[in-house]
Copies of this chain bind each other. A is one copy, B any other.
């Protein structure tokens, strides 16, 4: 079996079978990173471009490490120090990269839909590494892998997503994925940060975190993007923390085996109590480890696609 699309642009539209294929493949690559020789020759001679139009640390490094562990040739390409200042269009830039026989382009871009736009014009595969507030599919896949590895399954599990649901690509991708996989999703946050009508995506809404915490198998804390919400929130950041910060007190109302998750980077003391972030229910660093495995799996499934087709 393989993915239907040459690209991973979002979780929306993936089938349960496709998500399962990615997670199963990632499970097998997770083991590679635990060896002392963390490398397989699978993608030797493939060219993968990491094209980050916005700053990123963990996602960029995670993709870079994934490419190296698959023995692919990776090229980093950020906005600064490039000829973007010379006014070339995004599409011309990626057509150039493809002309150099890139097999796969990983792109982060501030404009929602930019990865989809370029994917339509390229034969090379495209992975969306975050496009504005739209989607961040590899984050959702690593989150689902983390839940599945810790709880055995996604089906029937209750996941509470807390924070700025309206502008979070992490929330959006996770909602699509978790609902597809049969999980129950509750989004929790202040009314101003939860879009009207989100129930249509198959989720429940709560403005009262304390009420829904006892039902959670996993609590997924979103990052308060101070650089964005600060302007709106600063008068009430304290109020936000009072109602939605995952404190040790609040965690005591949860199931004893609940998972505490966060996509990083953490604002300690704002959306999560440091004792909770570092506590025994936290799987935050496990998410990071699973991120490398998910990205290795996607590089394999997409950049290794042609061979698989030929061998069928």
Confirm or deny: A247 has a beta carbon within 8 angstroms of a beta carbon on chain B.
no
Q: Are A288 and B100 within 8 A (Cβ)?
A: yes
Q: How far is the CA of A306 from the CA of B92 in the complex (A)?
A: 39
Asked if A77 meets B92 with Cβ closer than 8 Å, knowing A38-B47, A99-B286, the reply is no
Q: Are B34 and A95 within 8 A (Cβ)?
A: no
Contacting residues, chain B, for A65 (C-beta < 8 A): 47, 73, 75, 100-101
Asked if A100 meets B265 with Cβ closer than 8 Å, knowing A68-B47, A84-B57, A87-B226, the reply is no
Q: Are A55 and B37 within 8 A (Cβ)?
A: no
Confirm or deny: A93 has a beta carbon within 8 angstroms of a beta carbon on chain B.
yes
> Given B45, B89, B268, B291, which contacts A37 in the complex, CB threshold below 8 Å?
B45
Q: How far is the CA of A226 from the CA of B87 in the complex (A)?
A: 9
- Distance between A72 CB and nearest chain B CB, rounded to angstroms: 10
11 A-B pairs (CB sep. < 8 Å): A36-B46, A55-B85, A56-B82, A56-B83, A57-B83, A57-B88, A58-B96, A87-B267, A88-B266, A95-B285, A100-B291
Having A47-B65, A57-B84, A68-B75, one finds 15 other A-B pairs with CB under 8 Å, namely: A34-B101, A36-B45, A36-B46, A38-B101, A55-B81, A55-B83, A57-B96, A62-B100, A68-B73, A86-B227, A87-B265, A88-B265, A89-B268, A101-B289, A101-B292
